Amino acid sequence: MKKTHLILLFLTFTLLFSCQKDKKPRLGYCSDLEPYNQEIFDPGPQEFGWAKGVKGGFPWEASAMWRPREEDSLHWSLHITTYEGGYVRRESIVLGEIPYEKGKYKVSGYDNWDGIVDGGYARLIEDGDAVLSYFSTNDTKESWLIITEIDPENKLMKGLFELHFGPEDCLDFQVDIFEGSFEARMWE
């Protein structure tokens, strides 16, 4: 009886792990990306702050907040989000590993933990857990962040930015934000 159970268990696992969907090309290749245009979504509630700039040649606004990095108190991340009218689709920009001091910082790649501010852009759907497309910074263009003010008493940060996201080889899928500025409080 025990032997029969082991054989059935083995066959079940074999069947489960042998059935796979056809794999798509890796994310980042033009053929795998959701068709993109320079839509301007709603800025959302702006409860903890705002960001604004020029995207696709049009004025752009978003909600913004900052969060301290869990690993240490010397770095933080800036979260910028916009929402489609019905809050179904959204775009999210996260800049991380930002030093907790005023200054100008280059933004490059994503999640490097190498002392350089990292950045990523995502198109999300539903409650934010389904990724439609994701881009890290396009390092053929110069992305930067300037922290102009830190107010520890009110947990407020202010600054300027220019950000460029998208695969270097897919020019139709670029997200460029010029003349960016933000004012954000810490998310609590």
Tokens read off for 138: 């396009």
Question: What's the pLDDT tens digit per position in 101-144?
Answer: 999 999 987 555 667 899 998 888 866 668 877 888 988 899 99
Q: Which residue has the higher pLDDT, 151 or 15?
A: 151
φ, ψ of residue 142 to 5 degrees: the values are: -90, 115
Q: In the chain, where are the structural domains located?
A: 38-185
Mean pLDDT of 139-158: 94
* pLDDT average, residue stretch 141-166: 95
CA 137 to chain centroid: 10
Alpha-carbon distance of 9 to 23, in angstroms, equals 27
**Alpha carbons 180 and 101: distance in angstroms, whole number:** 19
Count helices and strands (H / E) in the chain.
1, 10
CA 171 – CA 55 distance, rounded (Å): 15
Q: Looking at residue 8, what is its pLDDT?
A: 41
Asked if pLDDT for residue 47 goes beyond 90, the answer is yes
pLDDT value at residue 28: 44
Q: Return the pLDDT at 27.
A: 42
- Give the pLDDT mean for 36-53: 84
The mean predicted confidence, pLDDT, of the chain is 79
Q: Copy the structure tokens of residue 42.
A: 């709603």
Q: SS3 of 123, please?
A: strand
The DSSP H or E segment spanning 97 is strand 89-99
Higher pLDDT pick, 71 / 79: 79
pLDDT for 36 equals 54
**Tokens representing 57?**
């040649």
**Average pLDDT value for residue range 82-87:** 75
